Structures are given as C-alpha cells and as structure tokens.
Structure 1
Amino acid sequence: MSEKNQNGYENHPIQLRALKVLELSIKVIPEHSQLEPNVEKFSLFHGHSEYDPKDKTIAVRIGVEIGQEVKEVPFELRIEILGVFEVDEDKFPLKFVHKWAEKNAPLILYPYLREHVFSLSSRAGFGGTLLPLFQVPTFSHSSITTR
C-alpha cells in the first residue's frame, strides 16, 4: 500500500529537492520603454542531465527569452533556472526517468519561471509581465511508456 502524506495525498516518487537561479537578466530599451511587452513572442528552452544513481537525482533546466525575436520591444529578458529532482527508485521505473525529465519536469518548473519573469519585469517598471498558462494532458507511467 502506498504511503500518504499528512494531507492524505500520495506523494509522487520524484520530488523537487533544490531550485537554483542560473541567470536573471533584463535590458531595457529606452527608446521603446513606453511599449507594452509582447508575451506572445517568447522562446522557452529546457534540457536535463544524466540520471545520477549515486545521489538518485536528475537535474533539469528551463529558461525563457523575451524580446530577441521582435524589433520594437520595451526590454530583452533572459531567465534560466535549474531544478534538482530526487527519484524514489523503488516506486519509479528508472527506464522512464529521462522521458519524465524531458516531458514532465519542465511543467513542474514552469510556475517558478513565470514568477521570475513577473518579478523581474515588475522591478524594471513594466507592471509585471505574465507568461501564459498552458493546458497540458495528465501523464502517467503508461503514457510515458507508449511515447
């Protein structure tokens, strides 16, 4: 039988154990500073390390760039964060850990990335830029194995 946490929910076998900021940068373009940021034009990127069986961890990075693809923007922004996830090897099949890091982990880290975009753009005087929320399907072990 699965162990439940104090709220009665079952914990996922992979847990975020550390979150680090790798890069926070914003460059205001003075001649365009009165323009509204265009959040329809942004680039997301992500990647992950190899699984470390000694520490039972895998590191996943996610980042965003805003303003590099548009000519008249109020700012150029780049943020990159790193999450370190610990895997319960007794409850999660290791053959799927890289697929999980590629598909699921960026979705777990995305709210932290959104907060940094909002906070940094707000501190630069732009009222806080919000990245959109995504509608994503629910993943399970069976959906990971078939992809």
Structure 2
Amino acid sequence: MSEENKKEYENHPIQLRALKVLELSIKVIPEHSQLEPNVEKFSLFHGHSEYDKKNKTIAVRIGVEMGQEVKEVPFELRIEILGVFEVDEDQFPLKFVHNWAEKNAPLILYPYLREQVDNAPRSRAGFGGTLLPLFQVPTFSHHKLI
C-alpha cells in the first residue's frame, strides 16, 4: 500500500489473525442428484468466545446448513469456520468487544464462509452455481459500528 493510501485508510483496531475451517460436510442424495440446489433454503448460525485478555483475542464462529429442511435436494451441507480476532486495546473500548463480535465479526467472516460453501459442492461433488447470496449491509456512522 502506498504511503498516500496509508494516510487515507487506517487499520481497524480489531484484525482477523487466524481463519480455520472447523467442519466441512457434504452428503449427496443419489436419488436427487440431478436436481438444482435450492439457494433460498439455508440456515446461518454464529457465536463467539469470551474475550481472552492475555492474548487480546476473541474467537468467532459462523456456519451454514443446507438441505436439512427441504425434502428434495441434491445434497445436504454443513460448513463452519472460526475466525480469531486480535484487539488493539488502546484503540478499541473493551466494553464493546462482545457487541462487535456478535454483530460485526459475522459480516467480516461471511465472505470466507461463502467461498467455502460455493467451493465444496462444485469441486468435491460436481454441482455448479453460487449457493449463498450477497447481503446488503446498512451503512452506519462510526459510533454505531462499535
């Protein structure tokens, strides 16, 4: 990044430091394998750990399940990822860390989850198409993001 851009864009006081796939499961339903995936039916879930004061980190999990709620689907899918975020305690008020992990972190991790969901059926089971939609996220003023 150029020096000019560094002045224009400051790093956020919370940074993603590690990303891991915790679970990646796909089960093809042979009798329905010719069907197209139903991208409208999926369940997202997320949660977070307590703040680790020693390491100045908080872990956030996000995952998706597809196919469990619909009868005629080509596959069932479950993927869960974990992001570990490091907090600059001098720049971010700790009283807002859990709120940030609950509301902001899943939005940061969603593109990584989406990549895993789109890749698993395509590369491992021979299905095509994009499975998770993009979301519109409302724009907030700086004080509401914390």
TM-score in terms of structure 2 length:
0.88
Matches within 5 A, 1:81-120: 81-117=81-117
Q: Which runs of 5+ in 2 are unaligned?
A: 118-122
The alpha carbon displacement at 1:138 in A equals 2.9
Q: State how far apart, in whole Å, the 2-side matches of 1:126 and 1:7 are.
A: 44
Post-superposition CA distance 1:27-56 (Å, at most 9, x none): 000000000000100000000000011100
TM-score in terms of structure 1 length:
0.88
In structure 2, relative to structure 1, the CA distance for the partners of 1:3 and 1:103 (3 Å cut) is farther
Matched with 2:46 is 46
Q: State how far apart, in whole Å, the 2-side matches of 1:33 and 1:7 are.
A: 52
Q: State how far apart, in whole Å, the 2-side matches of 1:55 and 1:4 are.
A: 32
Matched with 1:136 is 137
Identity of aligned pairs, percent? 91
Higher helix share: 2
Moved more, 126-135 or 9-18: 126-135
Matched with 2:59 is 59
The alpha carbon displacement at 1:127 in A equals 1.2
Confirm or deny: 8 A CA contact 1:59 1:84 kept in the other structure. Answer: yes
Q: State how far apart, in whole Å, the 2-side matches of 1:75 and 1:7 are.
A: 48
The alpha carbon displacement at 1:61 in A equals 0.1
Q: State how far apart, in whole Å, the 1-side matches of 2:106 and 2:57 are.
A: 15
Q: Which runs of 5+ in 1 are unaligned?
A: none
The alpha carbon displacement at 1:128 in A equals 4.0
In structure 2, relative to structure 1, the CA distance for the partners of 1:90 and 1:140 (3 Å cut) is farther
Q: State how far apart, in whole Å, the 2-side matches of 1:72 and 1:82 are.
A: 30
Q: State how far apart, in whole Å, the 1-side matches of 2:2 and 2:144 are.
A: 21
Q: State how far apart, in whole Å, the 1-side matches of 2:20 and 2:2 are.
A: 30
